[in-house]
Structure 1
Amino acid sequence: MTDRVPDGLAGRILSSWGDWTGPVVESAVFGTTDPTAIAGLIGEWAVRHLGSPVASVLWYHASVGCASGLVLADGTRVVVKAHQPRFHADYLAAAVAVQSHLAAVRYPCPTPLGGPEEIGVGLATATLLIRDDSGAMVPDTVSAVAALVRLTTYVDGMAHCGYAEGHVQVEHLAPHPLGALRDGALYPEPYSPAFSFRDDESASWIDRYAGLALAACADDNGPLVVSHGDWSPRNVRGDRFGVSAVFDMDSLVLTTEARAAGHAAASWLLGPDPIGTVLDPSGIEHFLWLHQRIRDYWLAPHELRAAWGAALWNLAHLARCEHGVGTAGAALAALAAHGGEIAARCSG
């Protein structure tokens, strides 16, 4: 280690760009594309806010933000995640507070250790590196839905766990930094600088579905709850006994019951997994039924239309991301195959 630049981190940062589209995320997060400078910022942050220098580097990954798996000199294994500037302090503070509560009541998410604190041109947070020996995704949809419902239910119960009024301002979880729509927009700003949502006639069929989806959600004024906005199998891990780890807790969002269920259905069914889930109308219907049954909250007809609308919008948004980078991915295929059927469920 040179000063506070962790050995090996700059190399891992540089090698990660071969799997992505270059240092576009790092530029947005750190304000530089120099791997050594970025490694130095992360090492300095660990010393300043975790109280220990970095002894070794486990891994590095960039997508929406930049996450580093690190071992500190005191032996603690941590994840430091640096966020884009759009993840403002109020949102991250609320997300960290909710995550702290969830970890304290034994929800299977990482325990926060520090942040949000400045790094580069954004903010960073840190958690304990949660142990996950499953080596596979969650084995069944029932376990996944139950874990999502448990997250919402545990947050509902925060007032009964000694949290004073106003201590955790969950209102700052809405809108999510990646989900805010400008007036008249079909989509938020792309979550990664690598994507392009420019006007494109070849994407107009995707945009039509997004418009139908938003219209279906317009009358949804149901109760607001805290949920997870990226309930993909890559963030929900486990084994045959159920869910053992939930990651990406900076995806916490305040939304309605209907939109929470519908959005999660599309994320779960579309995500990469080895258990054969398929994003089609029957898969969405099953997920929504499970969510209502386990949550014991049955959606009114207009809420159910909104849930289908949220699933369709999430699918269209992901398809637009794939279109933006020229990838013929799973979202585009699912929308082309089933978009019409899903849209029909949005209108009753």
Structure 2
Amino acid sequence: MAADAGFPCARPVTDADQLGPGLVVSAETWRPGGTMHAGGGRPFAARSAELLANLTGILETQSPTGLGPPPPWMHWNPPTGRLWPPNPAIDAMDQDLVPDRVHATARAVSERLARAELPLVVGHGDWESQNLRWNDDHPWAVHDWDSLVALPEAAIVGAASGAFASTTIPTLAPIEWSEEFIGSFQLARGRSFTEEEREVAWAASLWPALHNARGESLFHSPPVTLDALTRQGRERLHRAGVR
């Protein structure tokens, strides 16, 4: 549908076939080329948000029914009732390596998003710079369509506002970039978020970073996202309505 509407993406050439539990295959046209934007920035935040808004408008007629659970970096309320979505390999690791503040912030975010009463929509759940390609300022290709999610629009936008600048190493965008992203999305969509949607967006902006910070701690990786969370976490929680 997105390709038919002129959105810059590869066109599917087969249906998705399930070969077994957790294994689905499909085929799409080859769409090489374009350049990944590195470095983030407020102008890029606006450009990326406008592209996401365009996609959101195209997908708004699609039913979210039938989509599976979100990927773990968007799965803040797993049905198990646990804080983190189940992952046997990750769960078997020493969780004491993860700072208490990461667990505490994740719990606050999860509880805030669980209270949201917003309709679900279909959206792209991995809106990082590494999945977008551009020709100068013009979008050429959006990749990673196996990350479609059924979540509130504000949550999809919020998560993207925190993750949009990530390239090979995930990070958390500065607050002013996220602010630009959320504002530009609303402008492109032609409507302003309600207070509830604004809070949901800021809460969701934290979850991909929390997921990545947990991974950094467990795998002894440089604390890129963890350091950003330390600097920004309190302000983002405040904007999410978490006091």
Q: Aligning the two structures, in what range does the TM-score lie when normalised by the shorter sequence?
A: 0.7 to 0.9
8 Å CA contact 1:267–1:314 kept in 2: the answer is yes
Residue 103 (structure 2) pairs with residue 103 (structure 1): no
Number of the residue aligned with 2:47: 143
Q: List per-residue Cα deviations over 1:301-325 (Å, max 9, x = no partner).
A: 1221111110112211121122221
Matches within 5 A, 1:143-162: 143-157=47-61
* Higher Cα radius of gyration: 1
8 Å CA contact 2:172–2:209 kept in 1: the answer is no
Matches within 5 A, 1:1-348: 101-119=1-19, 122-132=23-33, 134-137=34-37, 140-157=44-61, 170-176=64-70, 178=72, 179=75, 181-190=78-87, 193=89, 198-200=94-96, 202-269=98-165, 271-272=166-167, 279-347=173-241
8 Å CA contact 1:292–1:299 kept in 2: the answer is yes
User: How far off its partner does 1:288 sit?
Assistant: 1.1
What is the total number of aligned residue pairs between the two structures?
Answer: 232
Q: List per-residue Cα deviations over 1:180-229 (Å, max 9, x = no partner).
A: 61333222134x95786653264321011111112222332123222111
In structure 2, C-alpha distance between the alignment counterparts of 1:196 and 1:286, rounded to whole Å: 39
AA paired with 1:126? Answer: A
- Structure 2 residues not aligned, in runs of 5+: none
Whose strand proportion is higher, 1 or 2? 1
Taking structure 2 as the reference length, what is the TM-score of the superposition? 0.84
Partner SS state of residue 187, structure 1: coil
In structure 2, C-alpha distance between the alignment counterparts of 1:314 and 1:288, rounded to whole Å: 16
8 Å CA contact 1:222–1:256 kept in 2: the answer is yes
Supply the RMSD in Å over aligned alpha carbons. 2.6
In structure 2, C-alpha distance between the alignment counterparts of 1:278 and 1:259, rounded to whole Å: 16
Q: 1:195 to 1:109 in 2, by over 3 A?
A: farther
In structure 1, C-alpha distance between the alignment counterparts of 2:19 and 2:119, rounded to whole Å: 36
Q: 1:262 to 1:177 in 2, by over 3 A?
A: closer
- Structure 1 residues not aligned, in runs of 5+: 1-100, 159-168
Bigger relative CO (Cα 8 Å, ≥ 6 apart): 2
In structure 2, C-alpha distance between the alignment counterparts of 1:171 and 1:120, rounded to whole Å: 21
AA paired with 1:144? Answer: S
